[in-house]
Chain A
Amino acid sequence: MSIPITQVSGTPRSLRLWSFLTAAAVAVGAAACQDRVQPVELGAKLHNPLYPQFQLTDTEGRTFDFAAESKGSVTLLFFGYTRCPDACPVHMANIAGALKKLPHRIASQVQVVFVTTDPDRDTPERIREWLDHFDTKFIGLTGTEEEIAAAGRQVKIAPAVKEPLENGDYLMGHSARVIAFTADGAGRYLYPFGTRQADWAAEIPALVSWGAE
């Protein structure tokens, strides 16, 4: 096979091509940086601590008096539902993951309380089964819609709203914040969606030692 010796002098064209590619790469990089995972503000302190007084029913059918039960240990309170596709399982998994990695003397001073916002579908059995995926010690609470809404109001959480889907099913729009109660039973800090396992691993010991200094 004979190969032509003619060389194509490509300097200006190749220069233009490289300039274009470089500019395109810079543009892609700059545009890509616009949309990033936003950091969240962790442990926003409540200026007026919360002292809710509500009673709901746990997954064993017993009455759970929140004010009495939340004293003596750190309580992480979350309102959600078991069919939640995003925030609820992520929050539960992240708290559970952090607790598993913390020393027992710290983890044993923390209780997690999950209140369903979807009592129609979240039976006590379903709540128990769902929570057990994360940690068998997590407490699940339910009640009537009115009881749950009233409990939510006491901790400044807006009532959940049904969001119908095309297939006839529905999602529940609800607050994605975890409220942290210190051992004196006061709700003092809010943790939004976006709080990561590593964040919980740092925050929980501080919550446990709150007031000890």
Chain B
Amino acid sequence: MVVSWWCSASNLAWSWTWRPYLGVWLFVAALVAGYLAVLARMGPRFAPEKPRATGLQLASYLTGVAVLWIASDWPIGTLGSGYLLSVHTLQYALYCLVAPPLLLLGIPQWLILGVEHAAPRLWRVLRFLANPLVALLIFNVVLLGSHTQQVIDGIRPSQLGSFAVDMAWLAGGLALWWPVIAPVPAVSRLSYPWKFGYLFISTILPTVPSAFLVFADHPLYALYELAPRVNGISAVDDQLVAGIAMKVLGDVIVWTAMIVVAIRWVRSEAEEDRMERGVSG
């Protein structure tokens, strides 16, 4: 059995036979080991009390890593990188919209505060990235750039190119969610209404590639048009599903986050009211 480094296009007919990808396993192992190493190394300096990460933070981070693993490995990684555009879109949603918020929710507050003191330059970068305009710019450049024909037909077919696209999605997703989920107010000062509006705005531009996919006369990407067929799904139907999925999946995920923001907003207002009544009473 051939062990590949990363999922990419191949001329092999699709089969439901498992294929191993060494790079994916190393990537997942590095994410877990890196997280635990940072907690162990920085914890004694910045968080003497244990536990250094709550159970919820740990669970959130590991779930985020698991999502990345599912998105990268066989079969989703294999199908999405070389056979079906619709699965490529699912990968995009997992990489950009599902995994990043889970990973960010897994970062303890003391760790970010520790960065301010241990690595002030990185702290400034984190604050810069928490600017919603910067974050939206990065996310939308990644989204649009990674769906150009040049990238999908020119870069995506190789293992390194596929890896680069996946990492760009992850970076774009982390940038998108950072202003909303940054665990330290000093990094992101967005109020609840601004977070709500920011998330809403983030759903606008993905409509463009989605519409192109849905309304195109012919398949847009040679990579998926000329790939061996999977279960007889035509390239046109695949592209149609991809276009709809890009919009629907993205909207469902971001609107769910908006609902969470709205609930927290209402709760915080109610809390303030209660405190005001308590003070005046």
A36 sits at the interface (CB 8 A): yes
**Interface residue B264 (Cβ < 8 Å from any Cβ of A):** no
Given contact pairs A28-B163, A28-B164, A32-B158, A1 touches B49 in the complex (Cβ within 8 A):
yes
Inter-chain CA distance A198–B236, complex, in Å, is: 12
Give the nearest-CB partner of B13 in chain A: A85
In whole angstroms, what is the CA distance A53 to B158 when docked?
Answer: 44
Q: Which of A10, A34, A89, A196 has the largest count of B CB atoms less than 10 A from its CB?
A: A196
The answer, among A4, A32, A90, A97, for a CB contact under 8 Å with B45, is: A4
Residues of A close to B117: CB separation below 8 A: 3-7
User: B225 contacts A94, CB within 8 Å?
Assistant: yes
Partner of B154, one of A37, A89, A101, A198: A37
- Tell me, in angstroms, the Cα distance from A198 to B113 when the chains sit together: 54
User: Do A196 and B119 touch (CB < 8 A)?
Assistant: no
Whether the Cβ atoms of B121 and A10 lie closer than 8 Å is yes
Q: How many residues of B contact A (CB 8 A)?
A: 40
A interface size (C-beta, 8 A): 36
- Give the residue of B118, B223, B228 whose beta carbon is less than 8 angstroms from that of A8: B118
Chain A 37-60 interface 0/1 with B at a Cβ cutoff of 8 Å (1 = within): 100000000000000000000000
Cβ proximity bits B1-22 to A, threshold 8 Å, 1 near / 0 not: 0000000000101100000000
Which 8 pairs show the lowest CB-CB distances between chains A and B?
A: A85-B13, A32-B161, A35-B158, A197-B218, A86-B228, A198-B218, A32-B160, A37-B153
Further contacts, 10 of them, CB under 8 A, given A93-B229, A97-B234, A197-B235: A4-B46, A7-B117, A28-B161, A28-B164, A37-B154, A85-B229, A86-B229, A89-B232, A194-B222, A196-B225
Residues of A within 8 A of B (CB): 1, 3-8, 10-11, 14, 25, 28-29, 31-37, 85-86, 89-90, 93-94, 97-98, 101, 133, 193-194, 196-198, 201
